[in-house]
Amino acid sequence: MNVLLYMMPAALLLAGIALAAFVWSLRAGQYDDPAGSAARILTDKDPLP
């Protein structure tokens, strides 16, 4: 069962990365306007600066 000693820190690390990615996306405003984001991919305009 020594493999657990590697697996558990690895799992913790991966979950930590997932959490960090989520918090980053939240801070970056990716959930602020779901309807607008869905509509914007259809416009040809370049994204605003």
Q: Which residues are at the interface with other proteins (CB under 8 A)? A: 1, 4, 8, 11-12, 15, 18-19, 22-23, 26, 31-36, 38-40, 42-43, 45, 48
Supply φ then ψ for residue 39, to 5 degrees: -80, -35
Least distance (Å) between residue 22 CB and other proteins: 5
**Residue 34: CB minimum distance to other proteins, A:** 6
Minimum distance from residue 39 beta carbon to other proteins (Å)? 3
- Pair 25, 31: CB distance under 8 Å: yes
